[in-house]
Structure 1
Amino acid sequence: MSMRYGIVILPQDRWADGRRKWVEAEQLGFDHAFTYDHLSWRSLAGEPWGSTIVTLTAAAVVTERIRLGTFVSSPNFRHPVPFAKDVASLDDVSGGRFTLGFGSGGTGFDAFVLGQQALSARQRHERFAEFVELLDALLRFEAPDARAGETRGADVEPPYGISFDGTWYTAHEARMVGRAAQQPRVPLVLAANGPKGLGLVAQFGQGWVTTGAEGATGEEWWRSVESLSGRLDDAAEAAGRDPGSIDRYLSVDSGGQYALQSVGAFEEIVGRASGAGFTDVITHWPRADGIYAGSEDVLSEVASRFVRS
């Protein structure tokens, strides 16, 4: 399988400016375009930051081919029931082009902005697992045809719906309004590095995404990436699943590097990602300054030499 290329466009521009980037990402030939799903992010917390779902919906309207997604959503400020409606509606608007990247949630700005208490790594995983389980059920649920008295897709009693009573989330006879374009549901690309998280990928994920070991750089980071990919193989086999059935996304702007610093850097990084078994690489649209600072000329040359080939 040839490498697929993704680009992250941060939701910082007014739409009059942001629209150009989403349209151009498709014209440049990228396979998918993502945006972060945060209330804000790290060093950019004092800068403008738009709504993820609104931005992706607008992008869906002005594009036709490119897949769109979150990189990544989390439970930090979302509940599975309303979020499932957002996901299904966005997939419908995009004509079945939405991919949901989802993770356990970091410990940065949006972990506490609503007044939440700090969670341990174990608590964050348990919350993540509950969210994914309920979200999966909601996105797969096929509402019954009340006129025919049918209950297709769920073993439930009238008035029909999904009920869930967990430690972190509850739902009472929740129903979807409308349906996603992709069936049986929108594909999930789950972010995970630990053994429990990788087990969740093997159970629910059509794909896996990683930024490598936190804090690692250079060769140490590449070794972590290769090791994690091998651990995913083990998790898939333990779950009775073909490891090759899981798409593998690598954020190539992690580990102290920015892939679009030059055409040569991009070529080398993508080659190493391919050698480590990754099917998809994700880089970031160059910003004028600060993190991911770079040149759109490099982006265009990379697209012409690699993405469109």
Structure 2
Amino acid sequence: MPKIVAESNYRGFGHTLVPRYCADMRFGITILPEYRWSDAASKWRRAEELGFDHAWTYDHLTWGGLQDAPWYGTTPTLTAAALVTSTIKLGTFVTSPNFRHPLTLTREVLALDDISDGRFLCGIGSGGGIDTTILGGDDLSPRQKVDRLAEFVELLDRLLTTDKVDFKGEYFETRNARTLPGCVQQPRVPFVMAANGPRSLRLATRYGAGWVTTGRKSDDLAGWFASVVDLSHRLDDLLEGKPFDRYLSLDSQRYSLSSAAAFEDAVGRAAELGFTDVITHWPRTEGVYAGSEAVLEEVAADVIPRLRG
């Protein structure tokens, strides 16, 4: 849990008390896989230069927010990002069973972990959006999606830690699946589990090194933060005081980099709720996550160092 240091002040979000310094907070940024590498490479390098602790990209075949935009593969993107950076952690935001099999994903995870020299984080969720039906077939019910996620995570965990895995479930099967050479990070790559429901939250605490949430849909910012509060309390009940990394995607209701003040307020609220990590998105020129790179530079140069005290 991030340490809140120094005095607090009232600012924004309807007179909510917002901590001024969050000494142990870690900061992440998501770079959508929509750019040709000639343009994307500089963004990944710059994310590291700006001092972000982790950088992510979406793992979708296509994304509902940008159906008409160019879109590139997640694994090649993160591989290339690993080769142009040296310290920043890199992750999937998030991988799902929609079009992944645990065994084929295992090979990609092993490669990314090795190429990045142990900097890879595997974000995992139950899956949604267009990816659920783009390959054909009927969409699963919410219950079935969690059933599939439980099987997916159990098998992926075994494949990354145990050689020669035989597994037969309702959704996935392996026969004498090999795990060699094993992960750089031991006992395996960390899972950061996306979860909003009770069963998926329990899965997160069982298999995850951390939990990530985008909150629940809401008509306004206050309602969205209320949903994050509720989810945080549900996780508290499951953890019973056990330390656990918590990642909050800040941009689900309002783009946090709309201004430096908006970003600082959002981070303060996240710290109050015990989040150890926050994630924003690289500014785009238009549409979703539209913003200015000047604000990103200001946040990295002034706001983040000040929040870290």
Structure 2 length-normalised TM: 0.90
Spell out the pairing of 1:39-118 with structure 2 (5 A cutoff): 39-106=61-128, 108-118=129-139
Match of 2:157 in 1: 136
The answer to whether the 8 Å contact 1:85/1:177 transfers is no
Provide the residue aligned with 1:19 in structure 2. Answer: 41
Q: Does 1:192 align with 2:195?
A: yes
State the 1:88 CA deviation: 1.0
Letter in 2 for 1:81: L
Which amino acid is the alignment partner of residue 90 of structure 2?
L
Contact persistence 1:89–1:179 (CA under 8 A) = no
Moved more, 119-128 or 43-52: 43-52
| 1:234 Cα deviation from its structure 2 partner | 1.2
1:167 aligns to what?
A: 170
State the Cα distance separating 1:93 from its structure 2 match: 0.3
Q: CA deviation at 1:248?
A: 0.3
Q: Is the 8 A contact 1:88 1:180 kept in 2?
A: yes
Which residue type is aligned with residue 92 of structure 2? T
SS of 1:6 mapped into structure 2: strand
Aligned pairs (5 A) from 1:1-309: 1=2, 2-106=24-128, 108-141=129-162, 143=163, 161-237=164-240, 242-243=241-242, 245-254=243-252, 256-308=253-305, 309=308
User: In structure 2, how many angstroms separate the alpha carbons of the residues matched to 1:216 and 1:233?
Assistant: 26
SS in 2 for 1:117: coil
Query: For 1:66 and 1:263, how far apart are their aligned partners in 2?
Result: 22
Equivalent position amino acid for 1:226 in 2? V
Distance 2:303 2:88 in 1: 16
The CA deviation at 1:75 is 0.4
CA RMSD between the two structures: 1.1
Q: Distance in 1 between matches of 2:235 and 2:296?
A: 31
CA distance in 1, matches of 2:200, 2:123: 14
Whole-angstrom CA distance in 2 between matches of 1:228 and 1:205: 16
Confirm or deny: 8 A CA contact 2:89 2:121 kept in the other structure. yes
2:260 and 2:303 in contact (8 A); partners too: no
Stretches of structure 2 that go unaligned for 5 or more consecutive residues are: 3-23
Q: For the residues of structure 2 that align with 1:299 and 1:66, how far apart are their CA atoms? A: 17
Q: In the comparison of the two structures, how many residue pairs are matched?
A: 284
Post-superposition Cα deviations, 1:159-186, rounded to whole Å, max 9, x if no partner, equal xx00111011111110024222100000
Q: Letter of the aligned partner of 1:289 in structure 2?
A: E
Displacement over 4 Å in runs of 4+: none
Tell me the CA shift for residue 217 of structure 1: 2.8
Deviation, structure 1 residue 110: 1.2
Larger proportion of strand? 2
Contact 1:30 1:307 in 2 (8 A): no
Secondary structure of 1:233 counterpart: helix
User: Does the CA contact (< 8 Å) of 1:79 and 1:169 recur in 2?
Assistant: yes
Give identity over the alignment, percent: 55
Letter in 2 for 1:284: H
CA distance in 2, matches of 1:246, 1:200: 13
Gaps of 5+ in 1: 144-160
Structure scoring higher RCO (CA < 8 A, sep ≥ 6) equals 2
Q: Find the counterpart in structure 2 of residue 157 from structure 1.
A: none
